[in-house]
Amino acid sequence: MFWRVASPKGSSNARPISWIVVSFGVVAVFLTFASWFILSNPIGSTFHGYFYGVENSASKASDFSVSQTNTTSVDLHMNANLDLVDNKPLADLQPSIVSSGVSSDNSKIEQTDTNSNSEVPFGESASPKIVPVTKEVNGLETSDAMASKAPIPVSATNSSIMKGCDLYHGNWIYDPLGPLYTNNSCPVLTQTQNCQGNGRPDKDYENWRWKPFQCDIPRFDPRKFLELMRGKTLAFIGDSVARNQMESMLCILWQAEEPENQGHRNIQRYYFKSTSVTIVRIWSSWLVKHNSEPFDFAPAGVEKIYLDSPDEMLMEFLPTFDIVVLSSGHWFTKQSAYILNNEIVGGQLWWPDKSRRMKINSVEAFGISVETIFTALVTHANYTGLTILRSYSPDHYEGGGWNTGGSCTGKTKPLSPGELVESKYLVAMYEQQVKGFNRAVKKTTNGSKMRLMDITEAFQYRHDGHPGPYRSTDPNKITKRGRDGRPPPQDCLHWCMPGPVDAWNEIMFEIIKREFDRDRTL
C-alpha cells in the first residue's frame, strides 16, 4: 500500500512519496556523474586547482619562472684573490701583489652592480650577488644565525634533489656525520692540503656542508657516482686548485673502490675497473698556449701567454673525454707577457718600456683566455661532451698578500655575512670569467653542453677551510704570529682535505645527474 500526499481540494493528481524519492535519486546520480566528468577533464583540472591546488599552482608558477630564467640576465658579484703554484716552494708561488683581503672586524659588504647575460640554465648558474642574508629563509637558519648559535645538524637523508633547485644560494650547516673520508683513508692526498696530518689542532672545518635554500644536496655516494658514470671519462683541467678538486673526487671514490693508476708524465689517469670509469687530470695553468721562448721585445725567461690559442695538450686529449671540468685564473698574477693576434699587448709584473701603453691588463687577459678555450671546445668537430666551468675560487688572505703579511691563521668557523668585505680584484676576475664563458657559448656549433658551476660566492664564507700555516709535517714549523705580530708563511688559497672543497664535487654530481636526466628525456 502506498502512502499518498494530501492534495488540494478537488485535485485528482495525488502522487506517491516513493516517486518523489526516486526523482531526487536520479538528480543526485546526475550531479555526481557531472562532477566526476568535470574534474576528470582538462577544464576539471582548473577547478581542481582552485579547490585543492594552492601548492600545485605555485609549482606551475615556479616551472614558468625557471623556463624564463634561461633567457634573463643576472647580476654577478664576488670577493678576494691570488694563487699558489704546483710543486714549488711557497716563496716562488705568487708575485708581489697585495690582496685586499677579508676583514673579520664586522665590516659591511660593498656591492657593485654588473650585468652579464647568462647562457646557463637555472640551477647550473645563479646570480652570485652578495647580500646580508636574513635570519631565516624558507625555514632554514642562515650562516649569520649559525655564527652565534650551536651547530645545526644537517639532514642525513639521501633524498633526491629538486629539479631546478638553485644550487648556489644557501648557507653552511654543521653536519655531525662528519666528512666523506679522512686524511688517513686517502693515499693520493697532496701533503700540503693534509691539514690534520700537518698538525692543525681544530677539526670543525671538516663538518660544515653546503645547504641550498631550496633543497638538500644528498651526501656524495661514491658507488652511485661510479654507476652513473659507467664507461665514461671525467677530466679535471687547470692549475693546482683544479688538482685540489680532482684529489677530493679521488678521495671520495677511493672509499668505494681503489682505482688503478694508469697515468704517465703528462697526464694523471685513474681507472675504476668495476664500472670502467676514468678520472683524469691535466695540468694547464692558463688553459691557453704558453712558453718562455723570446718573442719580439719580450726576452727568454718571461712567460708568453698566447691569449687566442688554446692549450695544445688539452685539445689533443679532448675528444677522449665525456665530461671536462675547467678552472683557471690564479696564474694571471704571475709574471708574464700577453700576446694577442701575434702582438704583445700587455704584461703582468713585466713591461720594459714604461712610455709604451699596454692595451690590456691581467684581468682583461683572463677574460680573453676563457673565451678562447671555451670557443675551442664548443666548435671542436669531435667533442660532444659536457663541460663544466668551476668559477673563480676565492682566497682569504687578511691584512696583505701571501708575501706581505696576509694571514688566515686561527680561523675555525665560516664567516657570517656581516664579515665579508668586497675585493675589487675578485669581482673583476669573476666577471671577466663569466663574460668570457657566455661569449663563447654563443658560438656553439657542435653538440657539446656548457655549464657554469658557480661556487665563488658560497666559498667566500669559508676562510676557515685553508691550510694556513699547516702546510707540512715539519714538527718545527712556525704556526703562530711572532713577537712583532707578523704571521708565519701560509696557504690561504688551497683547501684542506677533507674540507670545503668536497662540496664542489657534491654540487658537480648534481649537475651531471641533471644533464644525464635531460639526455634520457630527449
Residues 6+ apart with CB under 8 A from 521: none
At residue 4, the 3 state secondary structure works out as strand
C-alpha 184/C-alpha 196 separation (Å) is: 9
DSSP states of 325-384? EE---GGGGSSEEEEETTEEEEEES--S-TTSPPS--HHHHHHHHHHHHHHHHHT-TT--
At residue 220, the 3 state secondary structure works out as coil
498 preceded by cis ω (within 30°)? yes
Closest CA to 470 of 447, 452, 487, 451: 487
Closest CA to 460 of 421, 499, 430, 509: 421
| Residues with active-site annotation | 240, 491, 494
- Secondary-structure breakdown of the chain: helix, strand, coil percentages, each rounded to the nearest 5: 30, 15, 50
C-alpha 479/C-alpha 58 separation (Å) is: 53
Count how many Cα atoms sit within 13 Å of the Cα of residue 455 in the half-sphere of its side chain: 25
Contact 400, 406 (CB under 8 A): yes
The three grid cell numbers given for residue 37, joined into one nine-digit string: 566528468
Contact 163, 510 (CB under 8 A): no
At residue 463, the 3 state secondary structure works out as helix
Contact 283, 239 (CB under 8 A): yes
| Backbone dihedral angles phi then psi of residue 506, each to the nearest 5 degrees | -65, -45
DSSP states of 53-66? -HHHHHHHHHHHHH
Bridge partners of residue 141, in order along the sequence: 136
Beta pairing, strands 136-137 & 140-141? antiparallel
C-alpha 160/C-alpha 171 separation (Å) is: 19
Which residue carries 646580508 as its cell?
A: 132
Closest CA to 198 of 449, 488, 508: 488
Residues 6+ apart with CB under 8 A from 421: 79, 100, 101, 102, 103, 107, 109, 110
